[in-house]
């Protein structure tokens, strides 16, 4: 179904993931070293539909590799795997161009679901349809172009991932109303979050950094206690 690159140096994890992804019908290549993955993706320009990237790999860590890919114009979806559970690490990975972030140990069914969603969104992006919302919307000091997957900010044009664009689209569609984390997750990923998941919160933090005058005191993408978030235009 899809060609996937797994960059993972822990042999037992790589073997298990490869087996299960191949059972789903995918073709999987495994590279256990960051520099070798860099050579394959940038030097040799090998093409993949999805990259599953461990953060703590030898030679060049996953964050450095993802950043190098984006700087080289390679926008293949990246799903980070990491033992780092701190929010600052998740935000760092997303800001460097990652599309999703899963903390070890992870649930296999959740990983396979996230892989499916990222591949589906990649196909949608290549086909060209825009997320369901106005193509361009101003939020705070950023203007989001949901067709171009970009945000114009005072610092310049920032690329958006399809998931980030889908989160913005869902908020815009429900502007002025509280949107639950579950609704945002289903709009962006296609499935409800597991209990305790902070994936949506991490993406909201990233969007606040783009549009809020003070991300620590948001006035546009505000939290609704016990519910989720609300967009105030």
Q: What is the percentage of the chain residues whose pLDDT exceeds 70?
A: 89
pLDDT at 130: 45
Q: How many residues does the chain have?
A: 233
Q: Where are the domains of the chain?
A: 3-127, 136-231
pLDDT at 124: 59
Copy the structure tokens of residue 43.
Answer: 């030097």
Mean pLDDT of the chain: 86
Q: Which of 30-44, 97-111, 196-210 has the lowest average pLDDT?
A: 196-210
- For the domain made up of 3-127, the CATH class stated in words is alpha beta
**Whether 60 contacts 9, CB under 8 Å:** no
Question: Which uninterrupted H or E stretch holds 156?
Answer: strand 156-159
In angstroms, the CA 51 to CA 41 distance is 10
More confident residue, 30 or 192: 30
| The pLDDT of residue 188 is above 80 | no
pLDDT tens digits, one per residue of 71-96: 887 888 999 998 876 677 777 787 78
pLDDT tens digits, one per residue of 116-141: 988 887 665 554 444 444 578 999 99
**Whether 87 contacts 202, CB under 8 Å:** yes
pLDDT tens digits, one per residue of 194-227: 555 567 888 899 899 999 999 999 999 999 998 8
pLDDT at 203: 85
46-57 burial: b if 16+ Cβ within 10 Å, else e: eebbbbbbbbbb
Report the 10 Å Cβ neighbour count for 215.
16
- Decide the pairing of beta strands 50-54 and 3-7: parallel
- For the domain made up of 136-231, the CATH class stated in words is mainly alpha
């Amino acid at each position: 179904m899809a060609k996937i690159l797994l960059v993972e140096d822990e042999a037992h994890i790589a073997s298990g993931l490869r087996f299960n992804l191949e059972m789903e019908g995918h073709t999987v290549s495994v590279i256990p070293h960051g520099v070798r993955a860099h050579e394959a993706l940038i030097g040799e320009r090998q093409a993949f539909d999805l990259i599953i990237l461990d953060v703590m790999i030898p030679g060049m860590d996953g964050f450095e590799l993802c950043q190098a890919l984006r700087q080289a114009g390679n926008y293949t979806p990246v799903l980070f795997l990491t033992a780092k559970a701190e929010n600052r690490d998740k935000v760092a990975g997303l800001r460097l161009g990652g599309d999703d972030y899963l903390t070890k140990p992870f649930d296999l069914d959740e990983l396979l679901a996230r892989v499916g969603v990222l591949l589906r969104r990649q196909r949608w992006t290549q086909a060209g349809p825009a997320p369901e919302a106005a193509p361009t919307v101003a939020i705070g000091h950023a203007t989001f172009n949901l067709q171009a997957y970009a945000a114009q900010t005072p610092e310049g044009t920032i690329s958006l991932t399809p998931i980030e664009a889908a989160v913005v689209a869902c908020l815009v569609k429900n502007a002025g109303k509280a949107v639950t984390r579950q609704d945002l997750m289903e709009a962006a990923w296609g499935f409800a979050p597991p209990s305790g998941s902070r994936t949506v919160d991490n993406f909201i933090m990233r969007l606040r950094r783009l549009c809020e005058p003070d991300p620590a005191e948001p006035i546009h993408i505000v939290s609704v206690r016990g519910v989720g978030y609300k967009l105030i235009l």
